[in-house]
Amino acid sequence: MRPVVGVISDVKAMNGQIVHGVTEKYIYAVARGAQAMPVLIPGTISAVDAEMAPERVVIDEILDLVDAIFLPGSPSNVGPQHYGDRPHDPPLPADPHRDDISLPLIRTALERGVPLFGVCRGFQEMNVAMGGTLFQKLYEQPGRFDHREDSSLDMEGQYALAHEVALEPGGLLEGLVGAPRWKVNSLHGQGVARLAPNLAVEARADDGTIEAFRIVDAPGFNLAIQWHPEWRFWQDKLSTGVFNAFGAAARLAAERRRGGGRFKAAG
């Protein structure tokens, strides 16, 4: 049996309806890259109860059903109130119903040692959940590059390799490719302002922007990446490596959760 990976959904209005969903490229990367069964996790159910907030028991129930958690990217941003800031004027795209699930889910998953992998928004969620802060407009910070995609290009152009990152010597990412630097794509307008305590940098852009990190004292596998390794992951050694590593951690968690060896043939 493949491990089950819970994938956090975006919550947004579409054609007069509330939709919970995930872009297919993330689902494909979990299914093929991590060799896992992706299962979508909805945000809070705004259409039923706008005041609903996830109780601890709901988070525990989710984690009892899955072997790992994947936090995909999104056009929306983490609400700035979660890291002590005021909304930019005009406000940037937000998804409070995803925030309501993802932030407590991250903290509880880390406590329980559930494998956790965040990409783009998921990277930012992990930093905020652990006590870090964000630049709401990274591209307005002195000395920082504009890390946003060129919206005038087609998808191929937007997700093309954009800049190099320096991989931390002795880190997980450097170990996957055996190289000190790697070229990545870049499609984000926000970024880490203050890294949360107990987070170890795995990669930085040449302008100093943190592009990947791990939570060093968590009992299970965890990784956060600001770029988009899910995009055609099979064409890139580092992208293939991170999804393979995540899948391996999810399989180990599944074996432990299901009692190990239960499905092996006799003899």
Q: Which residues are catalytic?
A: 120, 228, 230
Of the candidates 94, 131, 112, 100, which has an alpha carbon nearest to the alpha carbon of residue 213?
Answer: 131
Decide if 107 contacts 71 (C-beta within 8 A). Answer: no
Decide if 146 contacts 98 (C-beta within 8 A). Answer: no
176 φ/ψ angles, rounded to the nearest 5 degrees = -75, -30
From the centroid of its chain, how far is CA 83? Answer: 17
Of the candidates 188, 8, 195, 7, which has an alpha carbon nearest to the alpha carbon of residue 83?
Answer: 195
Of the candidates 168, 145, 149, which has an alpha carbon nearest to the alpha carbon of residue 228?
Answer: 149
With H, G, I as helix, E, B as strand and everything else as coil, classify residue 72: coil
- Amino acid identity, residue 205? A
* Rounded distance between C-alpha atoms, residue 31 and residue 68, angstroms: 13
SS3 content of the chain, % helix, strand, coil (to 5): 35, 25, 45
* Rounded distance between C-alpha atoms, residue 52 and residue 56, angstroms: 13
